Every structure is written in structure tokens, then in C-alpha cells.
Amino acid sequence: MDWDQIRIFLAVVRAGQFVAAARRLELDHTTVGRRITALEQELGAKLFNRSTTGVALSTLGERLLQTAEAMETAMDNAVVEFSQAESRVTGAVRIGTPDGLGTYYLARRLAELADKNPELRIQLVPIPRTFSLARREADLAITIERPVEGRLTSLKLSDYTLGAYVSRDHIKRFGAIKDYQDLKDRVLVTYVSDLIYSSTLEYAEPLEKFAAKRFECASLTSQLEVVRSGIGVGILHDYAARAFGDLVKILPSFSVKRNYWLVAHKDVRMIRRISFVHEFITSEFKNSGRGFFCPS
């Protein structure tokens, strides 16, 4: 069985589309289609059910997936064995993170790491969703909940806090907010309820019962920009809000504490490039200190 065909098969499984898999592999989508057809002909089995929106594994495709992932792990381990002595760090590492952390903390730091290691290709994915490490959607993930299932390793990076904020312009237009009762004529900027991907993000209830109405955004970065526009009150990460001088923290008695966890799949954790980035992220959080993510 040709490993290159298996590599393409795995990319299609994880992307759910030939075109998306082709972009990830930096191949033409017709080439991807031909290689999958050749693999199906070699095995005498239909691996995917195709539709106008993408592809889904057939029953036989599900069986091949287990073998393909075992082959992938064996190839990764071989790379580790034969490159361990190399001083260079090479290859791509994809890191999935919550959007606020990725944008306001990790992006600059990972850019500096990539600059010092030109053969290391960082793929930072700061979007509000969960990542499946088992399906190799990411090599490392930073989560807001500790995973309890799967062949995963998890390390607590830090607690972090959130508070209530408005812009200085909002105060000029609508007046100061001294207590919860002052929220009755204000707009609460918060998440889109049915798009919340973790129950730990449901922290707006204490303010919702006072605010007149909601403005909902699916990502923290959007919420922060809406609050900066002056439209209303938002619950923002303290470390992100501190970066903007036009934001003012209100309601000092209101505070939310959550956690960040660094997660990796056990099968790839010790691959050199992944362990290198894992150690870098761990070190950065340690060096930042508790005061950065949980200001007193």
C-alpha cells in the first residue's frame, strides 16, 4: 500500500472535501481525486460517499482509517528516531487555540519562535471551537476544559480571569456604571448562545438579568471590538482588555475564573517539532506569571 496515497486519504478524511484537502497538501484537487480513485481501485472498495457538500467515510473507509492512522503514527515515530540527533527543528506544527488567546497572546510569541527557527512552519488556528487531536485537526490544542477521554496528555497552563468592561466613549455617551442596576438601559455584548462550544463559556447570566438587551458575537475578538465601539458592556479576558487603553473595567465585584490546558495526542507528543513547540508554549506561560492572566 502506497504511503503517499494513504497520506492523501487521511487529508481528505480530516478536511471533509477534496478541494480543502488539496489546499492543505498543496496539490491540485484533481490530483487528489485521482489518487483516491487509484487507492479505491487497488483495494477494490469504495472509501468515500461523495455529495455536493463534501465526502464522508464509507463503512470500509472507516476500517481503513484505523490502519491509516497506525501507519501515520509509525511514519512519525520513524522521523523522530532518525532525526532526534539533528539540532534543527523542521516541519509544520498546527496549534488550535481559543481565539482570544491565539490573537492577544500566542500570535506574537509564536511568530518570534518561527523567526528563530526558519525550517519550522507554525500553523496557528485561533478560532472559537474544539479541535480533534485524534483526527489530527491540530498537533497541539489549548483548551478551556481538561479532556477526560482519548489517548491524550494534558497540562494545566494557567488560570485566567474575565471582567466587565466598557469603552471610555460609552461612559461619555451613557454615563458611568457604578452597580448592576445601572445596566438596565445598556446593551450586553456576549456570545451567540447556540454557538457556544463549551459550557465554561456560559458566564454572562449574572449580568443578563440586568441588561436591557444583547448584542451577540461568536468570537471574543469580535466582542472586544464591539465593546470598543461604545455600543455596550462586555465580559472580556482581563489580559486582552489591558492591551487597549480605551477600555475601562467596571463592576469590580464581578469576576470569572477559568483555565487553559495544553493538550497533545500521546502518539505524536514526542515528535521533535511538536515537543519543541509544546515546551516553548509551556515556558512562555510560566514566564508570563500568574499576574498576567489573573491580575489582582
Q: Are residues 107 and 167 in the same domain?
A: no
Amino acid at 289: G
139 three-class SS: coil
pLDDT digits (tens, 9 = 90+) for 39-60: 999 899 899 998 888 889 999 8
Angle at 278 between CA 257 and CA 118, to 5 degrees: 125
Tell me: do 213 and 275 sit in the same domain.
no
Instruction: Clarify whether residues 152 and 263 are in a common domain.
Output: yes
User: Which region among 3-12, 75-84, 157-166, 188-197 has the lowest average model confidence (pLDDT)?
Assistant: 75-84
Residues 118 and 193 in one domain: no
Q: Is residue 275 over pLDDT 70?
A: yes
pLDDT at 80: 58
pLDDT, averaged across the chain:
89
Domain presence at residue 182: yes
Same structural domain, 37 and 150: no
Number of domains observed in the structure of the chain: 3
Q: Is 129 exposed, middle or buried (0-12, 13-18, 19+ CB in 10 A)?
A: middle
Judged against a pLDDT cut of 80, whether residue 1 lies above it is answered with no
0.95 cut: is pTM over it?
no
Q: Is 82 among the domain residues?
A: no
CA–CA dist 292, 296 (Å, integer): 9
Predicted confidence (pLDDT) per residue in 188-241, tens digit: 999 998 888 888 888 899 999 899 899 999 999 999 999 999 999 999 999 999
CATH number of the domain residue 199 falls in? 3.40.190.10
Query: Residue 81 falls within a domain, yes or no?
Result: no
For residue 237, the model assigns a pLDDT of 96
**Within a domain: residue 231?**
yes
Are residues 141 and 224 located together in one domain of the fold?
no
Separation CA 47–CA 49 (nearest Å): 7
Per the structure, the complete domain to which residue 268 belongs is given by: 91-158+259-293
Residue 143 in domain: yes
43 and 181 part of one domain:
no
What is the pLDDT at residue 54?
87
In terms of domains, do 154 and 281 share one?
yes
* 153 and 192 both lie in a single domain: no
The answer on 110 and 193 residing in a single domain is no
Residue with cell 464591539: 226
Facing residues of 120 across strands? 91
